């Protein structure tokens, strides 16, 4: 016995096609919406990454700029210090006085400022290396190259003319003036009648106790380190010469 095919009404077939089409459209629309959201999310992600990359690049540039600036400052300071010490070594010296040969002008342990390119004049204080002992000393220039000198009655005579020594302290015993410098001639002290060229005759201001040209002879120009310009320590006794 054959089965009869069940007939579906045409209206139901049309509705079934429409619902399938609607479903397809809804799915396509949903897929399209999802795709747009994905594209939008992807674009936002790229944008965030780009902003983060830019910020990171900017920070790195700032760090690099700061690092470069610090390095430039340190380099400038280093060069400045090197130049300062080079100029200082070339022009100046800060020796310490040893002993009392220049008392009261300078005292033991005083710190002096010496200018290495100073002009040497009569009564200048010079800093030099004494040849026989290789000791660095400070003494006062009394005789210049080519001059004759001697002391008579405690007074200095250069080329026959009396030269006042106002830097010396006057001394007296029981109201009687004391001779600060014993009389002598240049020949008696050094065996020469004149100060040789490029040489100087020097003495300490503490005449009775100073070791100077009366004992070790003339100071050659090449032995002179510089001219004393000031006492800078102790601070309360600072003065310019």
Whether residue 188 lies inside any domain: the answer is yes
Same domain, 106 and 24: no
Check residues 129 and 177 and name the one with the higher pLDDT.
129
pLDDT digits (tens, 9 = 90+) for 129-151: 999 999 999 999 999 999 999 99
Joined tokens for residue 45: 């992600």
Residue 189 CA to residue 124 CA, distance in Å, equals: 21
Domain boundary among 93, 116, 143: 93
pLDDT band at 174 (very low <50, low <70, confident <90, very high): very low
Whether 132 is in a domain gets the answer yes
135 domain-assigned: yes
- DSSP-based three-state secondary structure for 53: helix
Whether residues 17 and 83 share a domain: the answer is yes
Same structural domain, 217 and 233 = yes
Which of 42, 67, 93 is the C-terminal boundary of a domain? 93
In a domain? residue 5: no
DSSP string, 168-207: SPPEEETTEEEPSS--EEHHHHHS-SSPPTTEEEEE-SST
> pLDDT tens across 4-32, in order?
555 555 555 555 666 776 767 767 767 67
Sequence-distant (≥ 6) Cβ neighbours of residue 110 within 8 angstroms: 96, 97, 231, 233, 234, 237
Q: Does 2 reside within a domain?
A: no
Q: What is the mean pLDDT of residues 192-204?
A: 97
165: left (phi over 0), alpha (psi -120 to 50) or beta: beta
Q: Which residues pair with 137 in a beta bridge?
A: 128
Do 143 and 236 have their domain in common?
A: yes
The mean pLDDT value of the chain amounts to 87
Out of 39-53, 119-133, 211-225, 227-241, which region has the weakest mean confidence (pLDDT)?
39-53
Task: Say if residue 121 is in the same domain as residue 202.
Answer: yes
Among the residue ranges 23-32, 41-50, 130-139, 164-173, the one predicted with the least confidence is 23-32
181 and 81 together in one domain? no
pLDDT of 92 above 50: yes
Note whether residue 209 is domain-resident.
yes
- Residue with token string 């007296």: 172
Contacts of 17 (CB under 8 A, 6+ apart): none
Domain span at residue 191 reads 94-240
Omega before 234 within 30 of 0, i.e. cis: yes
CA–CA gap between residue 218 and residue 212 (Å, rounded): 9
The pLDDT score that the predictor gives to residue 18 is 65
User: Lowest mean pLDDT: which of 15-24, 105-114, 116-125?
Assistant: 15-24
Do 75 and 116 share a structural domain? no
Residue 190 lies in a domain: yes
CB distance 145 to 196 below 8 Å: yes
Q: Is 153 left (phi over 0), alpha (psi -120 to 50) or beta?
A: left
Q: Band the pLDDT of 175: cuts 50, 70, 90.
A: very low
Give domain status of residue 3, yes or no. Answer: no
pLDDT over threshold 70, residue 115: yes
Say whether pLDDT at 2 is over 70: no
In terms of domains, do 119 and 69 share one? no
Q: Is the dihedral of CA 126, 127, 128, 134 positive or negative?
A: positive
- How many structural domains is the chain composed of? 2
Give the end of a domain, one of 93, 123, 139.
Answer: 93
Q: Inform me whether the pLDDT recorded for 61 exceeds 70.
A: yes
């Amino acid at each position: 016995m054959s089965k009869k095919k069940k007939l579906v009404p045409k209206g139901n077939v049309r509705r079934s096609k429409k619902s399938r089409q609607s479903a397809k459209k809804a799915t396509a629309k949903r897929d399209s919406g999802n795709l747009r959201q994905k594209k939008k999310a992807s674009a936002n992600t790229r944008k965030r990454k780009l902003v983060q990359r830019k910020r990171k690049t900017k920070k790195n540039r700032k760090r690099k700029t700061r690092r470069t600036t610090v390095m430039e400052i340190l380099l400038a300071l280093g060069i400045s210090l090197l130049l300062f010490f080079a100029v200082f070594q070339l022009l100046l010296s800060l020796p310490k006085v040893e002993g009392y040969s220049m008392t009261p002008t300078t005292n033991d342990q005083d710190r002096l400022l010496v200018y290495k390119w100073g002009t040497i004049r009569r009564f200048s204080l010079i800093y030099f290396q004494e040849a026989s002992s290789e000791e660095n000393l400070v003494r006062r220039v009394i005789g210049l190259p080519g001059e004759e000198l001697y002391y008579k009655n405690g007074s200095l005579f250069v080329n026959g003319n009396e030269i006042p020594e106002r830097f010396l302290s006057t001394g007296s015993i029981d109201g009687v003036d004391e001779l600060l410098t014993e009389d002598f001639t240049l020949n008696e002290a050094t065996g020469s009648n004149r100060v040789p060229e490029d040489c100087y005759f020097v003495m300490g201001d503490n005449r009775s106790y100073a070791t100077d040209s009366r004992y070790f002879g003339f100071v050659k120009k090449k032995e002179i380190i510089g001219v004393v310009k000031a006492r800078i320590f102790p601070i309360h006794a600072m003065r310019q010469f």
